[in-house]
Structure 1
Amino acid sequence: MTSNKGFIAFFCLLLAIELICSHFASLQPYRIITKPLLVLSLIIFFLLRAKHLDGISKSLTLLALICSLTGDILLLFAEHTSSFFLAGLIAFLLAHLLYISTFLKRRNPHKKPYLLYALLASYAILIFHLLKNHLGDFMVPVAIYMGVILIMAVTSFLRIKQVSASSFLLVFLGAIFFLISDSILAINKFYTPLAMSHLSIMFTYATAQLFIVLGLIKQR
């Protein structure tokens, strides 16, 4: 528990440095270091703290984090060419598919959260309706990505009562933060620029990854 608190404090420091670098134009070149360090630190922390997990769950989570790290690096160059954005999108798509596989290993077969399905579907329809006339060639990739991240959010909920309450809550909140982060990113890129978008995107994204990793470590 003490080491978890120590890591959380260290991670928050890394996040603060990344947010400062993303906010000030003169410091943005340093993001090539500060941004990847966030997920890289989570990978190291997970390797050290997840020895009690079964091999498949551990491997799937590590691959998800590696794909996320790859996506982070690719998106740093997305402003130069749309190819980097598409490649980053694919990297995070793979990360979500790996998280889905991890969450399904602890799925509660008795839960049918129809209300959650309806809420997430309504949210997705609203966001897609907002973006659809601005997506251009990204219409299909974004639609696929939205579907996958919604499934990720649902499967994170389906762990309810199959793991400890803290593990369930952390992973589920992490999935919701991921959904929020990607929504802000999509609206900012395809619909209208948002004030302080880099800060809100990175804060919600980093929180999402931290919560998911902490929640999976608490899984027994």
Structure 2
Amino acid sequence: MTKQTKITLASIVFLLVAIADVYAVITQNKTIEMIFKPLLMTTLAVVYLVSVKKPSFWLLSALFFSFWGDVFLLDKEKFFVFGLGSFLVAHLVYIKITTDLLFKDLTVKIITSAIPFVLLFVGLLGLIYGNLGDMLLPVIVYGITISTFGTAALLNYRQQKTTANSWLLLGAILFIASDSLIALNNFYTPKRLFDIAIIVLYIVSQYLIVKSIIVKEK
């Protein structure tokens, strides 16, 4: 079996798993979701492994913690904090991966790259602040972390406007959008449409991030 065949087959399996999980969310079928959600990052990791010669420990670590985030959030009432913690670590690893791609830049460019993400975070925090209670500190820490990831991804793209970097930036933005909807869903106003948008944005974001790293490692 050729390498391209392996990549194609792995990508098809990932796509089918993603479709099944989105279907589960749309139909509110917890049994199907329990089966396929843990397979999202597993199959995406396989896509990555068959696509590169020397896999990155850091990217696999990010997918590993994302896997546990998915698993914990299958039961948000009991394990929301554990899910949040798992994705926090995943984002920290993504920040490490992204900052390793950067070269020194002017402070003004760093600040201007941070502005849109800081504004989003502050605006979102303003909406949900009154409902956070004991979750205030964890949410602030998580918000700062994902804002840092977005800033690093935008700065990376502004330094080198390549296709791979545009995928990384878009992946970061969609990941932040997914996380923002989770915050609104849990601490502001729950909506069924949010559940669907959250999983779709999450799947696409993770794929784009992995795809960008695959291109960079070829």
User: For the structure 1 residues 147 and 161, does the alpha-carbon distance in structure 2 shift closer, same or farther, using more than 3 Å as the test?
Assistant: closer
User: For the structure 1 residues 9 and 41, does the alpha-carbon distance in structure 2 shift closer, same or farther, using more than 3 Å as the test?
Assistant: same
1:30 corresponds in structure 2 to 32
1:106 corresponds in structure 2 to 101
2:70 corresponds in structure 1 to 72
8 Å contact from structure 1 (residues 71, 89) kept in 2: yes
Alignment of 1:10-159 (within 5 A): 10-25=13-28, 27-52=29-54, 58-79=56-77, 81=78, 84-110=79-105, 112-159=109-156
Please report how far the alpha carbon of residue 19 of structure 1 lies from its aligned counterpart in structure 2 after TM superposition: 1.1
More helix by share: 2
Q: Distance in 1 between matches of 2:47 and 2:91?
A: 20
> Is 1:199 aligned to 2:196, yes or no?
yes
Q: Name stretches of at least 5 consecutive residues in structure 1 with no aligned partner.
A: none
8 Å contact from structure 2 (residues 182, 198) kept in 1: yes
1:170 corresponds in structure 2 to 167
Identity %: 29
Q: Name stretches of at least 5 consecutive residues in structure 2 with no aligned partner.
A: none
Give, as a single letter, the amino acid of the residue that structure 2 aligns with 1:22. V
8 Å contact from structure 2 (residues 13, 43) kept in 1: no
8 Å contact from structure 1 (residues 108, 158) kept in 2: no
What does the per-residue CA deviation read over 1:76-106, in whole Å, with 9 as the maximum and x for residues that have no partner? 0113x2xx10011000000000111111111
What is the TM-score when the length of structure 2 is the normalising length? 0.89
Give, as a single letter, the amino acid of the residue that structure 1 aligns with 2:33. R
The DSSP-based 3-state class of the residue aligned with 2:135 is: helix
2:209 corresponds in structure 1 to 212
Aligned length: 212
What does the per-residue CA deviation read over 1:149-171, in whole Å, with 9 as the maximum and x for residues that have no partner? 01011112232376671210111
> Is 1:180 aligned to 2:177, yes or no?
yes
The DSSP-based 3-state class of the residue aligned with 2:76 is: coil
Q: Distance in 2 between matches of 1:115 and 1:7?
A: 39
8 Å contact from structure 1 (residues 163, 219) kept in 2: no
Give, as a single letter, the amino acid of the residue that structure 1 aligns with 2:91. H
